[in-house]
Structure 1
Amino acid sequence: MARLKTLGSRIKESAGSRVKVVSPGSWRSGMTSSQRGYGYKWQQARERYLRDNPLCVYCERNGRTTAARIVDHIVAHRGDMALFWDETNWQSLCKPCHDSVKQAEEAAGLGG
């Protein structure tokens, strides 16, 4: 039986089609998550915080009970390590609330 020739991709990536996640000049530019503070120490603190605060605070405010998966900084720390590690600046959120409500607040200039 004859072998089939492999077809090349018909989808071409155009130059500049990649979405930039971090704005040039951002405090995060060129830094890994570990360099920004989200290394092993953060993962341990995050797990402990979620164990002690397992529900999404936004959902609770609306009468819903939803497990939280994200520890969010209430006021954006923007590289300030004192604010980063201040647990009074942390809140537990589910992913849908973090990705919608919280991001909309930040875009509107609320929460730091």
Structure 2
Amino acid sequence: MPWKPKVPCKHPGCVELVESGTKYCEKHKALHPEEVRSAAKRGYGRKWQKTSREYLQAHPLCVLCMKKQPPRYVKATVVDHIIPHRGDPKLFWDRRNLQALCKQCHDKKTRAEDSNPTYTY
């Protein structure tokens, strides 16, 4: 069986090595509960799926692609929170905090936000 090298813990400033496929060391796992809870437990259950489907029907194009010059008309497939909710239910369900994005734009935006997260202790 192939062996994979250990990787650094993803918590900022931590140098602890963890098994490949694991993001955080035991010390920092508790600080990142969003990584171990299922999508449904994080709020993305049936109610969210229905809200997301309705939002995409009303807003079928990616807003970030539309802002490019020249505008690109790309089908939106993901409903994104403009301001990351980080578990705040009021911010999670606020429709003014939603935008329709294509998967490529959503992944790019999320990667940028997750590389510089805001922690509250």
Decide: shared fold, TM above 0.5. yes
Of all paired residues, the percent bearing the same amino acid is 40
Match of 1:50 in 2: 56
Aligned length: 100
Equivalences for residues 1-112 of structure 1 within 5 A: 9=1, 11-14=2-5, 16-20=19-23, 24=29, 25-62=31-68, 63-104=71-112, 107=115
Q: Which runs of 5+ in 1 are unaligned?
A: 1-8
**Structure-1 residue corresponding to 2:16:** none
Shift of 1:26: 2.1
TM-score (norm: length of structure 1): 0.76
The answer to whether the 8 A contact 1:70-1:94 is kept is yes
Which whole-Å CA distance do the structure 2 matches of 1:20 and 1:43 have between them? 27
Question: TM-score w.r.t. structure 2 length?
Answer: 0.71
Shift of 1:20: 1.5
| Partners of 2:94 and 2:74 in 1: CA distance | 24
Q: Which string of whole-angstrom CA distances, capped at 9 and with x for unpartnered residues, describes residues 35-65 of structure 1? A: 1100000000000000000100000001110
Greater relative contact order structure (CA < 8 Å, 6+ sep): 1
Structure holding more helix per residue: 2
Return the index of the structure with the highest Cα Rg. 1
Gaps of 5+ in 2: 7-18
